[in-house]
Amino acid sequence: MSVPERILIATSNPGKLRDFAGAALALGIRIQPVPNFSQLPTVVEDGLTFEANARKKAEAYSRAAIDEIVLADDSGLEVDALGGAPGVHSARYAADDPSQAGSNTDDEANNEKLMRNLKSVPAAQRTGRFVCVIAAARNGRTLAVFHGKAEGIILDARQGSNGFGYDPFFFFPQIQKTFAELNAEEKAKYSHRGAAFRSFLKWYAEI
């Protein structure tokens, strides 16, 4: 399979960069943020779907890396008992109005709100999934979009100290662990982001 030497990711989120690096490690691919990413104008993630946000970010940030493929992802947690929430608002869930929040809210605050909202939900009904959509763009145009999911159960107490976001509460039955109990390379084998990234690599090998 033909693989790139490096892949540019449109994020400054250290957790996401670790996830991508974990997925790329075995293939010898270097994961790097878009050059001067912190100095670029922030893209407002106001899309109604993960795909809309991923496309918007990939297209905007790819203009800062002429002729290179840039990946951007949008991802989050969908909880069945909450009607699919936090969903596209996962990173801003703790805000008074997540749909209007101008910036992400703290992981701890997001998790605390999730636990409050699930307090009366029985364990058997605490099903949900992590969803990831990756958009690949070049020179402001989306080339392809890739999807990944991981089905699990939302615990009522944290387990593990790795990962980020909702990872300590997301129990993956297949391995009887939360995502926060895995290192980045292990997590990539099972995670939504790892699945979407592998789909990207398959597409890349065929272009």
* Active site residue ranges: 74
Phi, psi of 132 (to 5 degrees): -135, 135
Q: Which residues contact 39 (CB under 8 A, 6 or more apart)?
A: none
Q: What is the DSSP string of 130-145?
A: EEEEEEEEETTEEEEE
- Alpha-carbon gap, residue 192 to 196, rounded angstroms: 6
- CB of 50 closer than 8 Å to CB of 36: no
Residue 88 has a CB neighbour count (10 Å cut-off) of 25
